[in-house]
A = this chain, B = another copy of it.
Amino acid sequence: MREPAPILVVGSVALDTVRTPFGEAVEALGGSATHFSAAASFLTPVRLVGVVGQDFTDEHLRPLVERGVDLEGLVRAPGRTFRWSGEYGEDLNNPTTLDTQLNVFASFDPVLPAAWLDTPVVFLANIDPVLQERVVDRMRSPRLVAADTMNYWIGSKPAELRRVLAKVGIFLCNDAEARQLTGRRNLVDAAEEIRRLGPDVVVLKRGEHGVLVFDPEGPFAVPAYPLQRILDPTGAGDAFAGGFLGSLAVDLGRGKPDYRRAAVMGSVMASFQVESFSLERVRSLTPADIEARYLAFERLTRFPAYARE
């Protein structure tokens, strides 16, 4: 087939209140599935499975509707939408969580529309590994399954998370999570250890330091783009995953997946994500913007061959 393969994503849809040294967003559209879908939608059709509350309006949803994300799997449940509130310091690294209200997300049980069970690419965003496993078990022979997680699940549900790892081909996490999961300080050791648990490909996200990909062909490193204007890092990891899996979905329509090109596409989408609050920058991207940023990554990383005497 020549068409990009569609992606099914399961994750959170949230209303985020975020303060950074450069501004603030109040109850803006956020959540892992949201940021993932917006980024991936530039590359392939996206099917979103999630839950929102009765307070969630059409206005909230507009950016995803505009991006053509299929929302048949987004359930509206009695109660309020998941809310997260956090604040970033000068270094724009780990935010301080000010408030988390799980609301309808506390009893989230993903509902997969029957027509979606054959979706070839699946992204299990950062949710309870019990739910991640339930989703992957219901899918009918997907060609690519990727999962993300967070420190909370590594600490509280290690056995459940290992069952997920045994069932996915690609695992994404940040470097601290890789260390927590494996007890290995060295990232090469940690990635090898994770690959022994199941995934063929491990992607270590390092924020402003870029990404390390470990696949059967060896390590690949791509730096984060050195941006002058970073407003809000929220969602960068999910936008990365969206660009990464979106690129692999395009490859699947053509032949062999290329994890390196995918990691650069992920980095491209993450670089746009951090240039604004919520989805402001990403929702207004054009294909030309994306190609130009990809070329900027080429210029950022290219160097001449070894100079023999």
Contacts and interface: CB of A to CB of B under 8 A. Distances in A.
A22 to B, nearest CB: 10
A307 interface: yes
Nearest to A90: B185
A210 B223 contact: yes
A140 interface: no
Contact of A188 (B218, B228, B308): B228
Interface of A is mostly: mixed
A301 B267 CA distance: 14
Interface string A283-309: 000000001001100111111111110
A304 B260 contact: yes
B250 A307 contact: yes
Interface string A84-106: 00000011000000000000000
A212 interface: yes
Contacts of A295: 306
A14 to B, nearest CB: 28
B219 A226 contact: yes
A139 interface: no
Nearest to A263: B303
A222 B189 contact: no
Counted per complex, copies of this chain come to: 2
Interface in A157-213: 185-189, 206, 209-210, 212
Contact of A303 (B91, B185, B260): B260
A66 to B, nearest CB: 21
Contacts of A209: 206, 209-210
B303 A188 contact: no
A261 interface: yes
A261 B307 contact: yes
A181 to B, nearest CB: 16
A228 B219 CA distance: 11
Contacts of A186: 228, 230
A28 interface: no
A130 interface: no
Given A90-B185, A228-B188, A230-B186, A219 B303 contact: no
A227 interface: yes
A258 interface: yes
A87 to B, nearest CB: 16
B90 A221 contact: no
Given A220-B303, A223-B223, A247-B307, 6 more contacts: A186-B228, A209-B210, A219-B300, A220-B300, A260-B303, A261-B304
30 contacts: A186-B228, A186-B230, A189-B228, A206-B209, A209-B209, A212-B223, A212-B226, A219-B300, A220-B300, A220-B301, A221-B223, A221-B226, A221-B300, A221-B301, A222-B303, A223-B223, A247-B307, A250-B307, A258-B304, A260-B302, A260-B303, A261-B306, A261-B307, A263-B303, A291-B306, A291-B308, A294-B306, A298-B305, A298-B306, A301-B301
